[in-house]
């Protein structure tokens, strides 16, 4: 009898665990398609709308956990002539309520490529995105710091993402299609040596798709560059 009770109890615990895991996994797919092999392709434009290059992101090693889902995001960049390719990997995790994106993703591919052969220490705070958004919501700050050993001296670079907030909902059309999006604003501050610049940023994020479009501006609010979703491959 005790054996039967123990097995029934274990079965009940396992059932709750599986149902909870399924629920968490479903919530984790709210904004990003955290499924093995999903590939997002983007086109990069300068302030005049001219194509500057392309970028892609692919979900790999997607694992279901007791709390939700975790995945590796493999990202690649190429210039407008199809040259100078560079690739990097960062992590994304989700516990059903919060999606956390590795702070390393704040470092540009060009920056990572430039200092890839040097000894570097990278620390930071992950980007957090609730699985449920609404206009007016304020989001936590994020940032990354990279200390580079250059032999005779050390160089420090920092990127801070502050004043994050959900501005509104908006429907936009990009080469990949038409999407209902949340518009998220942030101040992206870049500091290196004596150079300290702020680049306001807006990201359009759609449920089930992820980032559809981004725009970066100068201190006067004028467009510097943009990235748009050109294709989704599942």
Q: For 30-84, what is each residue's pLDDT tens digit?
A: 778 888 999 999 999 999 999 999 999 999 999 988 888 999 999 888 888 888 7
Q: Which of 173, 195, 196, 199 is nearest to 185 (CA)?
A: 199
Which of the listed CATH numbers 2.40.360.20, 3.40.50.720, 3.40.47.10, 3.90.1170.50 matches domain 2-233?
Answer: 2.40.360.20
In which residue are the tokens 């990201």 written? 203
pLDDT in tens, 76-89: 888 888 887 888 88
Please check whether residue 144 is in contact with residue 123, taking contact to mean a CB–CB distance below 8 angstroms.
yes
**110-114, 123-127, 146-150: least confident range:** 110-114
Domain boundaries along the sequence of the chain: 2-233
Which contacts (CB < 8 Å, 24+ apart) does range 139-146 have? 139/164, 139/165, 139/166, 139/184, 139/186, 140/164, 142/103, 142/106, 143/103, 143/106, 144/103, 144/104, 144/106, 144/107, 146/107, 146/115, 146/120, 146/121, 146/122
| pLDDT(122) > 70 | yes
- Which parts of the chain are beta strand (E)? 39-46, 51-64, 69-79, 86-94, 98-101, 119-125, 127-130, 142-149, 154-174, 177-192, 195-206, 210-217, 223-233
Q: What is the pLDDT of residue 204?
A: 96
Q: What is the mean pLDDT of the chain?
A: 82
Question: Band of the pLDDT at 180, cuts 50, 70, 90?
Answer: very high
Q: What is the pLDDT of residue 26?
A: 55
pTM comes to 0.80
């Amino acid at each position: 009898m005790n054996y039967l009770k123990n097995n029934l109890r274990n079965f009940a615990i396992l059932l709750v665990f599986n149902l909870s895991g399924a629920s968490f996994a479903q919530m984790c797919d709210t904004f990003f398609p955290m499924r093995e092999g999903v590939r997002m392709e983007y086109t990069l434009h300068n302030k005049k709308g001219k194509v500057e290059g392309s970028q892609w992101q692919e979900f790999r090693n997607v694992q279901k956990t007791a709390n939700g889902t975790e995945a590796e995001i493999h990202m690649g960049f190429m210039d407008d002539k199809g040259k100078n390719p560079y690739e990097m990997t960062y992590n994304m995790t989700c516990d059903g309520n919060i999606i956390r994106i590795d702070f390393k993703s704040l470092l540009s591919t060009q920056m990572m490529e430039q200092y890839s052969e040097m000894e570097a220490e990278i620390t930071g705070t992950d980007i957090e995105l609730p699985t449920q958004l609404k206009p007016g919501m304020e989001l936590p700050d994020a940032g990354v710091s990279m200390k580079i050993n250059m032999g005779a001296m050390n160089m420090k670079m920092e990127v801070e993402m502050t004043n994050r907030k959900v501005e509104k909902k908006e429907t936009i059309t990009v080469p990949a299609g038409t999407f209902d999006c949340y518009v998220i604003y942030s101040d992206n501050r870049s500091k290196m040596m004596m150079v300290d610049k702020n680049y306001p940023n807006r990201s359009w994020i759609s449920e089930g798709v992820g980032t559809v479009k981004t725009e970066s501006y100068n201190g006067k609010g004028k467009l510097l560059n943009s990235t748009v979703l050109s294709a989704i491959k599942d």
